Structures are given as C-alpha cells and as structure tokens.
Amino acid sequence: MTRSRRSGVLGGRPAATTRGRLSSVAIDLFTANGFDETSVDDIAAAAGIARRTLFRYYPSKNSLPWGEFEEHLAELRNLLHSSPSEAPLGVSLRDALIAFNTVPASERDEHRRRMSLLLGVPALQAHSMIVYADWRAVIAEHCAERLGLDAASHIPQTIAWQALGTALAAYDQWLLDADADLTELLRVGGDILINGVSSLTA
C-alpha cells in the first residue's frame, strides 16, 4: 500500500486539498529559509491566499508541517481495524506501521524534508508532543480492544509508547542515511516490538 504527501510518522494522503497544498508550500519555505525565519505571512503569500484564510485551515504555524492530521489518524484506525483478527497483536502493529509509512519514490524527497523539520526543529517539539499523544491514543485503543483492557491502562499505554518509539527510531536512522530503506527499518524495529529485547541477547 502506498500513499503520497504524507505527514511523517503519522502517514498521510495525497495533497489534493487546500490543507494539503498549504502544508507542502510551508514545508518548501521552511526547508529553504528556516522554520523560525519563515512567517505565516510568507506562507500565505506563497500560497496566494490571505493570512486570515490560512488560519481557517491551520490554527498555528507549528501545525502546518503535520498536514491533514485528523484524516491521517482515521487512516491509521482503519489500518488497525482491518488487520486480520488471527494475527498476533504485535504483528498487526508492525504491519500497520509499515503500510502507514510506505512512501512512493516520487514523494520520498518531500517526505524526508517534512520529517527533517518535525524531528529536527526545536520550535516544533512542543506541538509534536500533542500530535504524538493523539497518535498513541489510536494505538492504545487498538491494543485495548484486542486485549480486553481499558485504553488508559498501563499495558495498552506501554505498547503505544513502544510503537511510537519504533517509528521514531526508524525515521531517525532514515534521515541519517539517504540510502537507508525506511520500510526495512520499520520492519526490524517492528520485530523487536514483537519479540522484545530478550530476542537480541545471547
């Protein structure tokens, strides 16, 4: 399964909407000029819209790199919901992470720029924590449903944090090496998520 114009760890959809296009314009400007150096007015001007119009689509500059986040969360839920019921929980999480973050070659450069911003710009980190919390909630809900537990309880929350760490670690490595295979990094990390640290020790 492939998708384009994705929003990073949380995946994405084609940027056919105004929200998607605005996010792409912002990423180009942030990459070329710097996040702090690029104003909302700069983005609005580059997109050919008024500042007020931009704020109808995004509440802040910090939210622009994430793109159509609510739609991405719905897609993640659908991926997890459609996973085979007979598949072990860890396998369903690993496979969903891989499918959700599969990037076609034509979109790889923009995806790398987006993720470089999201993981490398200090000013974005506070907003990212909010996004990650919502993302983890989707994972925790799936785990809770499979395990018959409350989504807010320790085990679903622990697995959700582990899944997030798996994705972020894969992206960290991918950004360090232009030739790295993101899918393979997610698969290896997902296998550790499934089997645990004990599988790596002698």
- Residues 51, 77 within the same domain: no
Alpha helices in 34-107 (DSSP H): 40-47, 51-57, 69-81, 89-100
pTM: 0.85
Residue type, 47: A
* pLDDT over 70, % of the chain: 89
pLDDT score at 104: 79
Has residue 201 been placed in a domain? no
- Residues 58, 117 within the same domain: no
Instruction: State how far the Cα of 83 lies from the Cα of 195, in Å rounded to an integer.
Output: 19
Does position 13 have pLDDT exceeding 60, yes or no? no
Domain containing residue 141? 68-196
pLDDT tens, 27-79? 999 999 999 999 999 999 999 989 999 999 999 999 999 988 888 889 999 99
Q: How many domains does the chain have?
A: 2
- Residues 168, 182 within the same domain: yes
Has residue 202 been placed in a domain? no
- Residues 18, 89 within the same domain: no
What is the domain-level CATH number for residue 176? 1.10.357.10
CA nearest neighbour of 162 among 135, 181, 183 = 135
